[in-house]
Amino acid sequence: MSQLSIDDIRVLCDAHSKPLELHFQYGTAGFRTLGNTLDSVLFRVGILAGLRSKRLDGKTIGVMVTASHNPEADNGVKLVDPRGEMLEAAWETHATVLANASTTDDFLHALDLFVRNVKIDLSKPSRVVYARDTRPSGVALISSLEDGLKAIGAEARDAGVTTTPILHYLVKAINTKGTKESYGDDSEDGYFKKLSDSFKKLVAGRPKITPLVIDCANGVGAPIAAKLVEYLGESIPLILENTSITTLGALNNACGADFVKTMQKLPPSLVEVLKPGQRACSLDGDADRLMYYYLDDRGYFSMLDGDKIAALVAAFIVDLVKLAGLESTIKVGVVQTAYANGASTRYLAKRLPVKCVPTGVKHLHHAAEHYNIGVYFEANGHGTVLFSPQAQETLANHEPSTPAQSTALNHLVNLTHLINQTVGDALSDMLLVEVVLAHKSYTGVEWNSLYADLPNRLVKVVVSDRNAFRTEDAERRLISPSGLQAKIDELVRRYDGGRSFVRPSGTEDVVRVYAEAILKTQADELAFRVAGLVYDEAGGDPSRRPKEFL
């Protein structure tokens, strides 16, 4: 590590010592746990980000400080690779090793080993762009991160308080600046212009869009959506709710995409706001998830989740590809996870190829890259659409032979600008949904009737060691604890249309249980019975066994 001043690193590392009793893990979406325990992790992530950039010849790496849908007291950090995608999987392991070195000496030793093993040329430049969401713990964590960046001598750019998808956008825009693949101007302004210009072109000539309510989860989506409103002008009336970003305890509390998806009901704060027939959507704490819903004429709540978004968007894109005369050159496919409602998978599989992968954007993103146009959405509302370089080239060079083909082609090109292809982006996805609804003249009711969801239930089980639960077959089956899967199979057989699976969360200290069945009461019962099995198997204290577990 001759190019670095070890003494400087040592001094700074001493100031950010690791709490001895804690173990950190780079999980589904980076490190994520209580915000007030993450000081040492942020410092070390700063160093790691700098080294990742050096390893990639000075390309800019992104660092996002957020815990997304988690409660306000949690925080987290994840790294973004140069094309705006999630950190390469092998480096997740390096991140975990470095974060857990007990002392400064252990850390310096692990760092030295790492630099040599991964063959990092320390004389290379190092560039990092970072941002945070609105969590109160974010301020101190950014300062720990900055110390890490300073220690490694990285050229650092502070993108301030912004959404996760904007940070991903910035990383790609910075790294493609001045090239023919330029992703856009590397500023928030560039992002807003790109989205709003393409949106306006896509809805031009369609009937006026009716007002849409946005639940901003009292998070960073609020100020960012407020800026977007200015760029969108009169093209779409947006009503922003749950915008209290400075009220302590408000973030994701009884609002936001995760609340709506898990509780399958309206955030209480919208009860007086939403009118029968009106559409609304919820963002999560860092605005990378989107959940739509509406009240029907009788005031009943209906939810349109990530699966419904995938169905709406995939069908629209398939139609455009056909209309543009590109059916034989551009193949569209969909990627889902085990959480996808069985009815959505049946609906989609009749129309186009569908693949199931483990939870986590990185898995979906990579699988979607195998299609010319890959649509991926998790049921929780996380997703986007990827246009392969080959598909983008075809769209750029195709000579339409009729006016109808030309229109469809233009729409597809505009979609490549509207959609944030680096990662799931609630605001970009929201505009995408609005485009499709405007083109199809769909209300929420018509969109919802594409297929009927199978009743389902998601339950969290708190266990002492979630790592004891290991899965296979895209998380649809457990391989440990041994014998538990057989018990689940036995239970599932008793329910009409029953399906259930169990997997450890990568973002919260819990095991998740999903169940679906033909009837709602049966889906609930199956989920609670499986949750009971999980709790008992994990040695849960009988006196604290949640009473709903059967």
Binding-site residues for Mg(2+), please?
Answer: 68, 284, 286, 288
d(CA 539, CA 289): 34
Q: How far is the CB of 78 from ligand G16 (least distance, A)?
A: 8
- What part of residues 511-540 is at the interface with ligand G16 (CB under 6 A)? 512
- Closer of 25 and 182 to ligand G16 (Cβ): 25
- Closer of 172 and 503 to ligand G16 (Cβ): 503
- Closer of 218 and 235 to ligand G16 (Cβ): 218
Provide the total of helices (H) and of strands (E) in the chain, helices listed first.
18, 19
Determine if 218 is a binding residue for ligand G16 (CB under 6 A). Answer: no
Among 53, 60, 68, 144, binds ligand G16 (CB under 6 A): 68
Burial class (CB in 10 A: 0-12, 13-18, 19+), 548: exposed
d(CA 331, CA 536): 47
Distances (CA, A) of 215 to 135, 224, 482, 514: 17, 13, 43, 25
Per-residue tokens: 33: 């746990």
- Closer of 305 and 508 to ligand G16 (Cβ): 508
Stretch that binds ligand G16, among 234-242, 356-364, 400-408, 534-542 (CB under 6 A): 356-364
| Cα dihedral sign, 11-93-504-482 | negative
Q: How far is the CB of 121 from ligand G16 (least distance, A)?
A: 32
Residue 322: CB atoms within 10 Å: 14
Q: Bridge partners of 500?
A: 515
- Please spell the DSSP secondary structure of 37-69, one letter per residue: G-HHHHHHHHHHHHHHHHHTTT-EEEEEE--TT
Among 85, 188, 284, 425, binds ligand G16 (CB under 6 A): 284
Which positions from 9 to 28 touch ligand G16 by CB under 6 A, shown as an x/- string?
-------------------x
d(CA 32, CA 26): 8
Q: Bridge partners of 524?
A: none
Determine if 137 is a binding residue for ligand G16 (CB under 6 A). Answer: no
Among 359, 372, 422, 456, binds ligand G16 (CB under 6 A): 359
- What part of residues 360-379 is at the interface with ligand G16 (CB under 6 A)? 360-361, 378
Query: Considering only CA atoms, which of 356, 349, 352 is closest in space to residue 379?
Result: 356
Residue 68 a catalytic site member: yes
- Closer of 147 and 284 to ligand G16 (Cβ): 284
Q: How far is the CB of 70 from ligand G16 (least distance, A)?
A: 7
Identity at 161, one-letter amino acid code: V
Stretch that binds ligand G16, among 104-112, 237-245, 265-273, 506-514 (CB under 6 A): 506-514
- Closer of 121 and 472 to ligand G16 (Cβ): 472
Determine if 382 is a binding residue for ligand G16 (CB under 6 A). Answer: yes
- Please spell the DSSP secondary structure of 403-440, one letter per residue: HHHHHHHHHHHHHHHHS-TTS--HHHHHHHHHHHHHHH
Catalytic residue among 53, 68, 126, 137: 68
Active site residues: 68
Judged by the rule CB under 6 A, the positions of this chain that interact with ligand G16 are 28-29, 68-69, 284, 288-289, 359-361, 378, 380, 382, 505-508, 512
